[in-house]
Structure 1
Amino acid sequence: MQSGVRRKTFDIGPYPIPAASTSASSKKLREGRAVTGLASDALNTVVIACTLDGTINFFDFHTAAQEQTLVLPAAALSMILHGDSGLIAVVCDDLVVRVVDIETRRVVREMSGFQSKVLDVTFSPDARWLVAASLDSTIRTFDIPTGRLIDAFRTSSVATSVTFSPTNDFLATAHLDSVGVYLWANRAQYSEVSFKSISDDDIDNVAMPSMQGEEEEEALEELAALAITEKPTDVFVTPAQLDGDLVTLTLLPRSRWQTLLNLEVIQQRNKPKEPPKQPEKAPFFLPTLPGVEHRFDVQHPDKGKDKSKATKVLHKSTGSAESVFWQKLSDENEDGHSDDVFYDYIKTLSPAAIDVEIRSLATLDSQRLFLTALIQRLRSHRDFEAVQTFQSIFLRIHGEVLVANEELRGELERLKEVQVTESERVIELLASSLGTLGFVRDTF
């Protein structure tokens, strides 16, 4: 299929002539034969073909040689192979489904009792059951080891196709007068069922499963007619902090803070080995150089001056504008009552953007404000892992500046005290939780 090249040809040859047949009948048996089904085993060693004149032909997959022909007592209309068990279910014209083993190449079971033409058959995933749908609107289930009919039900519409789910939970059917797929639950998965043999008198009429959309649409229309007069006042909203003694995290993925902590390593690892090459730009009409041969003048004018001017303008505009990060940080209240605007904004930034904003804190006033914001958040017992990440990045980038300036010593000492206190609280809470969990686990 990928190359489009024909690889092999499997020739079923003439019909095997019985020893007692006459010359006239043998000539008739040698006429054109119709192939009604094809299958290949799981290891691609055998190719099986069934024909309308009632034969099953076995071929070697690699040599395309016909190895054996199995003659059936009736015409073979279709067949299906169960790859794991090596069983073939052949639908015959005499209203019998025959099960053939591809290893022994013999008919091992015959499923009969159909009142009309068999339209489709399927194996259960474990190859223990065989489900067949016939033209008399009946779906029958046979037990393959015993060959008995263990379940049958009649539907209002003829089932044209049946198949099992891979987990053996559902049976999917398609019916004659519907474009939908109906699912039937397998009771053997969740309840005790009897697998005794049944007769045609035990076949019950079963209603079709409800189609999705019809009943639900009627229910929605009824609900839409009901008008809500008053808004509910007892709606529960989860608070940002359940209890003042607890420690609340940001509820963001852990990989977000791990990426921020190791951003330099990630950038160094993802750094390209060579800078990208810009494509050569040329005008629509290229000037030619003097000479006998046609040569184009593709030299570009020097744009270094324009680039330097653009860089200066960019630096000037960047220095004059204040970032949203700095505006939110400046609005933080230093009396310990924060409105969470700054941390709500910084949670929306990417790790690279947070790293850039922390690096942009170049003045002592901005660093003092950031230290104060960290202290306030630690005291509020919220966003603990985010504060630890911001603190680690900030001290790693501006550590030398903080040590060299005496103006920030007071904020650093306050941050140290709050950090030690909160760390001890978190360790105590973790130890208490682990002890309670161990006690419950050992008890039960």
Structure 2
Amino acid sequence: MGIWALGINHKTAPVSVRERVAFDPASMPEVLNQVQSLDPVSEVVILSTCNRTEIYCSSPLDNQDIDIQAAQQKAVLADWMAQHHNIDPQELNGSLYCLGEDKAVQHTMRVASGLDSLVLGEPQILGQMKSAYAVAQEAGTVSTELGRLFRQTFSIAKRVRTDTAIGENPVSVAFAAVRMAQHIFADLSHSRALLIGAGETIELVARHLHQAGVKKMTLANRTLARAQNLAQEFHADAVLLEDIPTVLADADIIISSTASPLPILGKGAVEKALKKRRHKPMFMVDIAVPRDIEEEVAELSDVYLYTVDDLRDIIEENVRSREDAARQAEELILSGVEHYMRELKTLDAVNTLTDLRTHVDLVKEDQLEKALKQLQNGADAEKVLRQFAHTFSNKLLHAPTKSLRKAGAEGRLEALDWTRELFQLNSSSEKPESGH
């Protein structure tokens, strides 16, 4: 089996493209089964976050070059993705990458360790990958190959967290959003924040805002109970998403991160809020992909709207201190890839040996059954044994003989060399060694 990783991320495409290929979490089991039904996909896990959508899968390997097979795999998955999201395949292809075998394994481990994130070393991605794997397990689209890959990946990511300083002074998209607010508002203690969503990212935003001195916060969520639970920790108010228009005018800072497939905040609602505020400026950060805030809101003169892509500069300033830790992490990942590929090759050898022994046993049992019948019918024992040995040898050597003759005719001398090494044919005059 081969391992493949196909995807699109913050390095290859802007948010305007990424949001169009994001998957709704509610539809993920159905999506996983659709991808698994594609030829030649055997197993599949899908990771869909604000910064990436990636499909990890396994499929049978053939004798072609890995890069050629990766291109074929990309074509199959890209066509499906374009059709599923109703996107022009040509537009999508320019942003997609597809990696095979050790490159795919390395990429998977780098993603889980936070080395491929917009925020170097951010910890949330590991939890997101574990969740994606759990969803695939529940959907029945994971078995031996991806199971082995993700177990090794999580083990390496844990080592990166514990053995390097990559996670010290954590920098996240949530942190960057709050830092940007600090650049605009000199004193956050006088600002009121509206946070849309109640997931892990918004929880981090609320924590950073609270630490930065924000005393008045409102959390809006589709489920009121979830918003209330989170609001309680920060002495904030909680409302439903449909109540946003009633609280929007009071908010100086709006930060949104939901899994909604459609925008939650439109230009019209913001215009009404601005009138109530007498055009006092509003600072907005839309962390969600797909976006929660309509793109047209940025056209309003008193609104400063930013997306995850706009946070790059702040993030880059905060990751320079992590470069040494990142180098150590890369070394751990390379070691993990080598171990995984070596283990894979060992398993391949074991499977081949098992198949070889099974084949030999089948030939042996077939010929032994014939020999026993001859002995039961009174045939000469020595003659039966000699015939058994002759037929058994011929049956075993028939297919290898044909293959070796073909290899010799085609100039593939390495096959002949391997045969000599496997059977220790150093000299035609030497007798075979005794033993097992």
Q: TM-score of the superposition, structure 2-length normalised?
A: 0.18
Bigger strand share: 1
Task: Report the structure number with the largest CA radius of gyration.
Answer: 1
Q: TM-score of the superposition, structure 1-length normalised?
A: 0.18
- Structure with more relative contact order (C-alpha pairs < 8 Å, separation 6 or more): 2
Bigger helix share: 2
